[in-house]
Amino acid sequence: MNKLKLWVSIIGLRSILWVGFSGIVSVGLAFIEIGVAGFLQLFLKSLGILSEDASSFSFVKNFTFTRTEIGFLLILLAFSRAVSNLLVVKGTVTSGQLFNARLRTFSLHQMLLDKVARYISVAQVNLRISELFVKGSEFLSIVNKAACSIIQAGGVFLFLLWLEWHLALFGLCGALVLGLVTLWIYKRVAILSKNIPKQQEKLLKGVERVSRNWLLVRILRTGEKEFNSLAESSLIYAANSIRGMIYSSTAGVFPPFFGVLLIVAIFSLDIKAINISPIDLLAFLYMFLRFLQFLGQAFTFTGSAVMIYPHFSKSMGFMEEAFDQEKVEAAKILERINFLGNISPIDRGEDHSVDARNKADVGDRAVDIDLKNIDFIYPDTDKLILNDLSIACPSGSQLGIVGRSGSGKSTLLAIILGVMKPSRGSVKLGGILPDEYLNSSLLNNVGYVGAEPFLIQGTIKDNLSYGLRGEKADQDYWDALTQAKLFDVIDAKPGRLEFEINENGDGLSAGQKQRLSLARALLVNPKLLVLDEASANVDVATESDIADSINLLKGKTTVIIVSHRKGFLKHSDIIYDFDKDQLIDARS
């Protein structure tokens, strides 16, 4: 029961209500089919094809209509059927799309706003957004469609039982045989479908790995090997998808063929012994064909659902692990989508932004960093990354963290910034918890530069002002560029601050992109500046110049420098060397 409640919370009440709405309309569609059969009897009588004394369904035989009225009523029923079918489509599509948007919202919240930060690779994000969530939500839509077809088939079959139960049960026996054949087909589909998400995940991870290291692949001449591996995954994905679709489609085309066989079998029976009138037999055959049509649709949809069930299962698995009430609140943004699919304007009521939180008054000063008796062990391992580490970094000083790749530099930085929690010990920034400091009203006074430059499509000024709250004069931009040793480069560009670049930073070298990211961090006059392998893409001379510029911030900005290059730490006051497991006070 708890899991059911969790699934309802993940799928969302609106999606479930749309599923229910489609089911209710499907019941109406079954009644419309019965009405069409009844008025077809009257229409055939009015044309003289059937005699006037031929018996009709009890719900129409007591009514007298002209041929025009009967034609009008048939048109009305046809229109009602069209509108009802449209509403069923509306319900199935809306339920799936709302579920898809909900999954994406949950995933984005997990990646960007979760209190417990989790790193999610690009390949994993792409797999979720472009594959698992799309087909997982499609599974809900298809199950909804299958349920609607089953409801309509069930309603029509109940009418067939009422009309002539002998023939109805005879038809049901044929349908059961068909069901057994279809069950075998679904088992084959399930076996094939299990491998499809695995191959897609393998393909996306491989593409990400190769795209990040394409130059190395070219130099080492391993392109053919990588191509063959990725092409094989793509081939297996396509082959399994094609075979699975053939199987599931086969399940859908069997009912009409079986229907013809059953109708032939019915004609071979002694109709007089069954005691059914010709007009009722005609109605029975019409309704029986509709029953088989609905049954065929149900089989087709069920086959497609079996095909993509692994995607739905994986999607729900991801969400179960990360589900919390905050994600439910975040998903309320979807309430802006109305019945027709239009988006209502944002309610500009209470401001919930970071600027409005003002959770802690950190003051307009450089922050001091205090770590006491920090231990850290990764979950499910016994490897101690940090052991009883204590660091006191005064306000306005430089803390250097150095060590070989994989030694734990990024882990220590994540703990200092509150992204990860220590297994033991305490961390304070400015005397308060890192989360409180970073969520304070002075969040804009924290600067960060990583190993990979983060750029957006737009002008140099757009890139410098990314994340900026408030206005800055043009001179402030030039001062930041000067500190980052990038003034001359941008000054020589056409349009200068208005020079356009794309997300790849075309027109700038790797080192210039990195210095542009540094200039963005310096523009806000940060009280805490984090440089995480920020000199990775610059030469030694430029690295030394930037280190000298950063040194000018002493007393005004607390700087954390993470690097495997000790030259960048030449002005650091305190250095923690992971390779030596040693805390060095460079001030003494």
pLDDT tens digits, one per residue of 468-502? 777 788 888 898 888 888 888 888 888 888 888 87
Angstrom CA distances, 239 to 203, 234, 243, stand at 14, 9, 6
CA 55 to chain CA centroid, nearest Å: 58
Answer CATH for 369-585 from 1.20.120.1730, 3.30.830.10, 3.40.50.300, 1.10.10.10: 3.40.50.300
Beta carbons within 8 Å of 293's beta carbon, 6+ residues apart: 255, 256
What pLDDT does residue 359 have?
Answer: 45
Q: What is the DSSP letter of 337?
A: B
The pLDDT tens digits for 357-410 are 444 445 567 788 888 888 888 766 777 777 888 888 888 888 888 877 777 778
Q: How many CA atoms lie within 13 A of 158 on its CB side?
A: 10
Q: Distance of alpha carbon 586 from its chain centroid, rounded? A: 48
- Is 576's pLDDT higher than 50? yes
> How is the beta sheet containing 558-563 ordered, strand by strand?
446-449, 528-532, 558-563, 398-402, 574-577, 582-585
pLDDT value, residue 357: 41
How would residue 103 be classed by pLDDT, with cut points 50, 70 and 90? Answer: confident
What was the pLDDT predicted at 25?
Answer: 92
pLDDT at 544: 79
User: How is the beta sheet containing 424-429 ordered, strand by strand?
Assistant: 384-393, 369-377, 424-429
More confident: 227 or 574: 574
What does the radius of gyration of the chain's CA atoms come to, in whole angstroms?
34
pLDDT tens figures, 118-131 = 666 677 777 788 88
How many angstroms separate the CA atoms of 396 and 365, rounded? 8
348: pLDDT strictly greater than 50: no
The 10s digit of each residue's pLDDT in 279-334 is 777 778 888 888 888 888 888 888 888 888 888 988 888 888 777 777 777 777 77
Confidence of residue 21 (pLDDT cuts 50, 70, 90): very high
Tell me what pLDDT residue 148 has.
Answer: 93
Retrieve residue 208's tokens: 């990400």
Mean pLDDT, residues 26-47 taken together: 78
State the burial class of residue 38 (Cβ atoms within 10 Å of its Cβ: 0-12, 13-18, 19+). buried
User: Which residue pairs from 44-47 have beta carbons closer than 8 angstroms and sit at least 24 positions apart in sequence?
Assistant: 44/279, 44/282, 46/70
Looking at residue 53, its pLDDT comes to 54
**pLDDT of res. 358:** 42
Per residue in 53-98, pLDDT tens?
Answer: 555 555 555 666 677 777 787 788 889 989 998 999 999 999 988 8
pLDDT tens figures, 127-158:
788 888 888 899 999 999 999 999 999 998 89
Give 12-334's CATH code, choosing from 3.30.70.580, 2.40.50.100, 3.40.50.720, 1.20.1560.10: 1.20.1560.10
Residue 101 predicted with pLDDT over 80: yes
The one-letter amino acid code at 61 reads: K
522: tokens are: 């310096």
Q: What is the pLDDT of residue 24?
A: 93
Give yes or no for a contact between 521 and 549, defined as CB atoms under 8 angstroms apart: no
| Domain regions of the chain by residue span | 12-334, 369-585
Residue 553 and residue 469 in contact, taking contact as beta carbons nearer than 8 Å: no
pLDDT band at 351 (very low <50, low <70, confident <90, very high): very low
Residue 416: pLDDT above 60?
A: yes
Q: Could you tell me whether strands 558-563 and 398-402 are parallel, antiparallel, or unpaired per DSSP bridges?
A: parallel
> Within 10 A of 548 (CB to CB), how many other CB atoms are there?
12
Cβ contact 57:37 at 8 Å: yes
Helix ranges (H only) for 407-539 are 409-416, 434-438, 460-464, 474-483, 487-491, 510-523
**115 DSSP assignment:** S
Indicate the pTM of the whole model. Answer: 0.68
